[in-house]
């Protein structure tokens, strides 16, 4: 039988939030186990770090820019043919496909190739029928506010526990005569940062990393549509003590996910499915959490775009890679070709077009990748390119360039764009990006072959235009970013 496939995604989880990958302030025993026994990619990036575009990329294996959706746009049908989607292709060859948790599709009940889905609205419908369980998000904080608060439901009835319970229910009631593709999609640690006990108190008073602060901030202080959403998305400028407590609550949400994954992994093992199941763990994008004075996502700094990416293969393959870490640049578009190839589905024979690569081909050097690129096209259009060590960023508003050596400066505190010692690396990456954009006749390339440049706008005008977006209903979570 073909291998089972379990795709686990979190929402808004930074790369640097797993203990085994260097964060000694957080508790993630089950993710640590995946790191030790799986294959970890230390240079994984979301090419358009926003909820909807990232999920579309997972479903169709194409970068957001490829299908002209490199920005956030709500309530738009997904740009993917259900028969060509990841679950649709797998269903056609005999997989039972199930989605559980945050899908963020529109229309929200559209299955796009899945046999069945249990989405966030189902959780809220269930909770509404049981007022004795508590009222989710009854604390007054909205979907993008960064202030920490304790959950208004207990852990047993939290959305995280529900996501795992429903995943286990699927495993226990599925058709055992066919392989399965299960997408377990957590809606956390996306704000509101409201973990239940014991996770709310778990990190109180504990040491945590301080926010990074770049020496390049003045270059972007008037750059509209950038990361300074303190006022526009949070109603207030965040003080250092609130930021630190927010990070502690954020860690609590991640530990809650991790502990619940322990239940899911245990059930897989009890049902003798563990050895025959490939597990892929990643996130749609990260969260700035005060780094360089910003919050949220939608930019290409490490906090926003750098994501965890771990694969545990079935026991009968790729043992030489297990427990190792690789700096090969990978992205969410790689999930579709990797899963399909493992399932024995040829991309060429089935005319499946993807911007990604089978990750095992990259590991085995059957295919080479020099870099990955990303694009955000709304507000302040911006581009990035990285080869895993160096990163070049370009912002059209003001024509601002930034360049970082991620090996020496993983927090991106020192801009090297004008450092003569890095001139060759800077020019090489910039040239690669320009050539790629030229090859697709991108609108951000001028007629003379240079990157386009726009006039700056006052940031206050941008902030005032965005504030109203915060007033959203708590129960429409599956169509919120």
Q: Indicate which residue of 30, 48, 69, 104 is catalytic.
A: 104
Parallel, antiparallel or unpaired: strands 180-189 and 4-11 = parallel
Write down the catalytic residue from 51, 69, 306, 477: 51
Contact status, residue 451 vs residue 392, Cβ threshold 8 Å: no
Q: How many CB atoms lie within 10 A of CB 451?
A: 18
Contact yes or no for 80/112 (Cβ under 8 A): yes
Chain centroid to CA 52: 10
Please confirm, yes or no, whether 477 is among the known catalytic residues: no
Judge whether 314 and 3 are in contact, CB under 8 Å.
Answer: yes
Q: Judge whether 40 and 66 are in contact, CB under 8 Å.
A: no
The Cα diameter of the chain in Å comes to 66
DSSP state of 92: H
Report the relative pairing of strands 309-312 and 44-45 from DSSP bridges: unpaired
CA 20 – CA 33 distance, rounded (Å): 8
* Phi, psi at 442, each rounded to 5°: -70, 145
CA dist 12 and 296 (Å) reads 8
Beta-carbon count within 10 A of 409 CB: 16
Q: Is 432 exposed, middle or buried (0-12, 13-18, 19+ CB in 10 A)?
A: middle
- CA–CA dist 279, 167 (Å, integer): 14
- Which of 209, 219, 216, 218 has the alpha carbon at shortest distance from 412? 216
Distance CA(215)–CA(203), nearest Å, equals 30
H/E element, 383: strand 382-386
Q: Beta 116-119 vs 390-395: how paired, if at all? A: unpaired
Q: To the nearest 5 percent, what fractions of the chain are helix, strand and coil?
A: 35, 15, 50
Does the active-site annotation cover 104? yes
Active site (catalytic) residues: 51, 104
């Amino acid at each position: 039988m073909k291998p089972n496939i379990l795709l686990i995604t979190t929402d808004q989880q930074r790369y640097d939030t797993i203990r085994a990958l260097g964060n000694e302030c957080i508790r993630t025993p089950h993710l640590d186990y995946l790191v030790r026994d799986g294959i970890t990619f230390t240079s994984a990036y979301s090419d358009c770090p926003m909820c909807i575009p990232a999920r579309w990329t997972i479903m169709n294996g194409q970068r957001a820019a490829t299908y002209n959706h490199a920005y956030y746009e709500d309530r738009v049908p997904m740009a993917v043919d259900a028969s060509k989607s990841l679950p649709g292709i797998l269903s056609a060859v005999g997989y039972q496909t199930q989605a559980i948790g945050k899908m963020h599709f529109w229309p929200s009940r559209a299955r796009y190739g899945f046999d069945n889905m249990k989405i966030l609205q189902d959780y809220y419908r269930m909770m509404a029928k049981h007022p004795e369980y508590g009222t989710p998000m009854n604390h007054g904080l909205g979907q993008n506010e960064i202030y920490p608060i304790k959950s208004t439901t207990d852990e047993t009835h939290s959305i995280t526990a529900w996501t795992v319970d429903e995943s286990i229910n699927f495993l226990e009631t599925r058709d055992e005569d066919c392989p399965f593709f299960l997408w377990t999609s957590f809606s956390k640690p996306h704000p509101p940062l409201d973990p239940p006990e014991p996770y709310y108190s778990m990190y109180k008073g504990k040491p945590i990393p301080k926010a990074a602060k770049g020496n390049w901030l003045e270059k972007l202080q008037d750059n509209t549509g950038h990361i300074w959403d303190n006022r526009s998305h949070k109603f207030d400028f965040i003080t250092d003590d609130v930021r630190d407590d927010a990070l502690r609550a954020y860690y609590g949400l991640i530990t809650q996910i991790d502990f619940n994954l322990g239940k899911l992994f245990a059930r897989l093992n009890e049902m003798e499915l563990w050895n025959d199941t490939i597990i892929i763990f990643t996130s749609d994008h990260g969260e700035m959490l005060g780094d360089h004075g910003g919050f949220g996502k939608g930019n290409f700094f490490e906090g926003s775009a750098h994501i965890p990416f771990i694969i545990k293969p079935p026991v009968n393959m790729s043992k030489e890679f297990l427990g190792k870490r690789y700096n090969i640049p990978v992205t969410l578009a790689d999930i579709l070709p990797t899963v399909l190839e493992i399932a024995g589905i040829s991309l060429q024979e089935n005319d499946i077009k993807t911007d990604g690569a089978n990750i095992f081909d990259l590991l085995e050097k059957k295919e080479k990748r020099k870099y990955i690129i990303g694009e955000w096209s709304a507000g302040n259009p911006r581009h990035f390119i990285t080869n895993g060590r160096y990163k070049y960023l370009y912002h059209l508003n003001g024509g601002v360039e930034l360049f970082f050596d991620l090996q020496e400066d993983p927090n991106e505190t020192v801009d090297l764009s004008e450092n003569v010692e890095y001139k060759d690396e800077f020019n090489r990456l910039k040239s690669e990006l320009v050539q790629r954009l030229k090859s697709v006749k991108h609108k951000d390339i001028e007629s003379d072959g240079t990157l386009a440049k726009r006039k700056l706008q006052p940031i206050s005008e941008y902030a005032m235009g965005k504030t109203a977006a915060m007033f959203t209903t708590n129960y429409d979570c599956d169509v919120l970013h």
